[in-house]
Chain A
Amino acid sequence: AQKVTQTQTSISVVEKTTVTMDCVYETRDSSYFLFWYKQTASGEIVFLIRQDSYKKENATVGHYSLNFQKPKSSIGLIITATQIEDSAVYFCAMREGNYNQGKLIFGQGTKLSIKP
Chain B
Amino acid sequence: NSKVIQTPRYLVKGQGQKAKMRCIPEKGHPVVFWYQQNKNNEFKFLINFQNQEVLQQIDMTEKRFSAECPSNSPCSLEIQSSEAGDSALYLCASSLRGGSNERLFFGHGTKLSVL
- Residues 75-99 of chain B, each 1 if its beta carbon lies under 8 Å from chain A, else 0: 0000000000000010101010110
Number of interface residues of A (CB under 8 A): 24
Q: Which residues of A contact B43 (CB under 8 A)?
A: 91, 93, 104, 106
- Residues 87-104 of chain A, each 1 if its beta carbon lies under 8 Å from chain B, else 0: 001010100000111111
Of the candidates A44, A100, A103, A105, which one forms a contact with B106 in the assembled complex, judged by CB atoms under 8 Å apart? A44
Asked, given contacts A91-B43, A108-B41, whether A100 binds B98 with beta carbons under 8 Å apart, the answer is yes
- Decide if A64 is an interface residue (CB 8 Å cutoff): no
- Decide if B109 is an interface residue (CB 8 Å cutoff): yes
Q: Which residues of A contact B91 (CB under 8 A)?
A: 45
Query: CA–CA, A105 to B42, complex, Å?
Result: 10
- Residues 56-97 of chain A, each 1 if its beta carbon lies under 8 Å from chain B, else 0: 000000000000000000000000000000000101010000
- Decide if B104 is an interface residue (CB 8 Å cutoff): yes
- Decide if A32 is an interface residue (CB 8 Å cutoff): no
- Decide if B20 is an interface residue (CB 8 Å cutoff): no
Query: CA–CA, A87 to B68, complex, Å?
Result: 35
Residues of A within 8 A of B (CB): 33, 35, 37, 39, 42-47, 50, 89, 91, 93, 99-106, 108-109
Pull 28 A–B residue pairs with CB atoms less than 8 Å apart, ordered by A.
A35-B104, A39-B41, A42-B108, A43-B108, A43-B109, A44-B106, A45-B104, A45-B106, A46-B106, A50-B103, A93-B43, A100-B98, A101-B48, A101-B50, A101-B55, A101-B95, A101-B102, A102-B55, A103-B33, A103-B45, A103-B48, A104-B43, A104-B104, A106-B35, A106-B42, A108-B41, A108-B42, A109-B41
